[in-house]
Structure formats: C-alpha cells, structure tokens
C-alpha cells in the first residue's frame, strides 16, 4: 500500500508538479520516450493500466485511438484528477488497489503499469492476474524505480549526483522520504523481476533503463550530464 502519500492532496500536488515539470521531470525526459517506444501503436487496443495516477496516460491512449482504456489506482485524489482530466466514454477509472483488483480474463491487448509496482509487496499474484487478463498475443509493459535506487534507503539531499548501492541482494521494503513525506518502496533485483514474469507465464520481450537522450533536455547540458550518472527507471516488457 502507499502509506498515505497518495491519499494526501498536498503530497499528490507536489508529486504532480514535479511529474509534469518538463526537463526537470525524469519521467518526461527519460521514462516517457522509452515507454512510448515499448508500447508502440495504441490504435484499437484494449488497455488496462495499473496505478494510473492522474489520467495523463489515459488521455494519451485515448488521443492515439485505443479501443478502450481502464485505469486503476488506489488514490482517491488521483482518480478525482483523472476523471476531471480525461473525459470520453472509452476511458474509465476505478479506485481500487492493485492487490485487490481482479481484471477480466483474456480482455486486454496491453496491460501497463508506470511507476507503481515498487509500492506493491507481493507481485506474484499480480503478475498471474496480468497474464490471465491478456489475450494470447497481448503484452505487459511496466516501469519501476531502478533497483539501484530502491536498494538503499537514503534520499538524496538535493538533485541526485551519485547513488550508494547497498543491500542490493536483500529484497524487501525500504522506508524512504519522498517529497518530504514517508513512503514504502519494495526493492527487488532485476533478476527477481524477470523470474516473477516467467513464473507467471510471461516471456521477456524487452528491457530498457531509460537512458537520457540529449535532444530532450532542451539545451540543458548540465542536467543531461547529471542524468547520465545514475539510472532512475527500469522498464520491462513481456508477452503472454
């Protein structure tokens, strides 16, 4: 569970300010382009998104002609914002936790989850449900905070320049301070993510560490070079 962070409108507002802050947002300049490349064309797809946040990706899916989009998120504040942002009959949001929500079987061409699964303690049953929710040729694409960052429990003091990797092989919860509030992240090694996927009958089709692309930093060479130092995201892609 999210330890309250996403239930607090002030924390959500602080997070979303950063999330949408152009080149200062690693999501926009690093995770977004890698995610877009992994999912490809969305036209005609039935999409399930776990931990959908404020609906921005739902809007993208709708604008790109998806058949349907269903976003699930446990945060009342995120779902409120999503419903405000994303109108349209093909796009729906449900307030529920990833641990509890059971999607329909063989109902989706694409299941996504962006920066949410490191909040979930046990991914075994989630990946099983994702596998069952996909049609036979369907794919699962998700991003999490890179295990190099989730391994430790120290928050950077200002913009991150370096990262101490510690207790890497001890998976489990890490209490962190994030935007000045406590959160609980669940650390797993890359090997464990891959083994969870194959245990659920999903075959790895792609892995990206969301390397920064200079052109997306709008000429801010210092920020680009800072982002070359420590990986922030891990993106995995699997097929049923």
Ligand X SMILES: C[S@@+](CC[C@H](N)C(=O)[O-])C[C@H]1O[C@@H](n2cnc3c(N)ncnc32)[C@H](O)[C@@H]1O
Residues that bind ligand X (CB under 6 A): 1-2, 6, 19, 51-53, 56, 73-75, 78, 97-99, 114-116, 119-120
* Helix, strand or coil, per DSSP, at residue 190: helix
Q: How far apart are CA 194 and CA 199, in angstroms?
A: 9
Q: Provide the minimum distance between the beta carbon of 32 and ligand X in the complex, in angstroms, as a whole number.
A: 9
Q: How far apart are CA 55 and CA 51, in angstroms?
A: 10
Q: Provide the minimum distance between the beta carbon of 115 and ligand X in the complex, in angstroms, as a whole number.
A: 4
What backbone torsions phi and psi does residue 124 show, to the nearest 5 degrees?
-50, -60
Residue 81's nearest CA partner among 98, 64, 95, 66 is 95
2/139 with CB nearer ligand X: 2
Label each residue of 110-132 as H, E or C. Answer: EEEEECCHHHCCCCHHHHHHHHH
Q: Provide the minimum distance between the beta carbon of 89 and ligand X in the complex, in angstroms, as a whole number.
A: 22
16/107 with CB nearer ligand X: 16
Q: Provide the minimum distance between the beta carbon of 143 and ligand X in the complex, in angstroms, as a whole number.
A: 8
Q: Provide the minimum distance between the beta carbon of 73 and ligand X in the complex, in angstroms, as a whole number.
A: 4
1/90 with CB nearer ligand X: 1
Q: How far apart are CA 79 and CA 73, in angstroms?
A: 7
Q: How far apart are CA 62 and CA 84, in angstroms?
A: 15
206/214 with CB nearer ligand X: 206
Q: What is the DSSP string of 36-67?
A: HHHH---TT-EEEEET-TTSHHHHHHHHTT-S
Estimate to the nearest angstrom the gap between the alpha carbon of 35 and the chain centroid: 9
Q: Provide the minimum distance between the beta carbon of 136 and ligand X in the complex, in angstroms, as a whole number.
A: 26
77/219 with CB nearer ligand X: 77
124/203 with CB nearer ligand X: 124
182/214 with CB nearer ligand X: 182
Q: Provide the minimum distance between the beta carbon of 102 and ligand X in the complex, in angstroms, as a whole number.
A: 13
Residue nearest ligand X, Cβ-based: 53
State both tokens at 171: 């998976």
Given a contact cutoff of 8 angstroms between Cβ atoms, the answer to whether 224 and 234 are in contact is no
């Amino acid at each position: 569970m999210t330890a309250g962070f996403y239930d607090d409108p002030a924390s959500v507002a602080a997070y979303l300010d950063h999330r949408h802050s152009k080149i200062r947002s690693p999501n926009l300049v690093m995770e977004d382009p890698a995610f877009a490349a992994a999912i490809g064309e969305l036209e005609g797809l039935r999409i399930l998104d776990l931990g959908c946040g404020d609906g921005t990706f739902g809007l993208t899916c709708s604008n790109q002609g998806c058949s349907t989009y269903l976003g699930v998120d446990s945060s009342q504040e995120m779902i409120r914002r999503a419903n405000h942002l994303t109108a349209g009959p093909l796009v729906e949001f449900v307030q529920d936790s990833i641990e509890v929500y059971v999607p329909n079987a063989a109902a989706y061409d694409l299941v996504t989850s962006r920066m949410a699964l490191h909040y979930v303690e046990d991914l075994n049953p989630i990946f099983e449900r994702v596998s069952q929710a996909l049609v036979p040729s369907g794919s699962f694409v998700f991003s999490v905070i890179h295990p190099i960052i989730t391994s430790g429990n120290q928050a950077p003091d200002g913009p991150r320049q370096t990262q101490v990797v510690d207790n890497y092989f001890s998976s489990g919860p890490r209490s962190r301070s994030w935007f000045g509030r406590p959160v609980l992240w669940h650390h797993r090694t890359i090997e464990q993510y891959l083994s969870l996927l194959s245990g659920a009958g999903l075959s790895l089709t792609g892995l990206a560490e969301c390397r920064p692309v200079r052109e997306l930093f709008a000429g801010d060479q210092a920020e680009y070079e800072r982002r070359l130092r420590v990986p922030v995201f891990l993106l995995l892609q699997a097929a049923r």
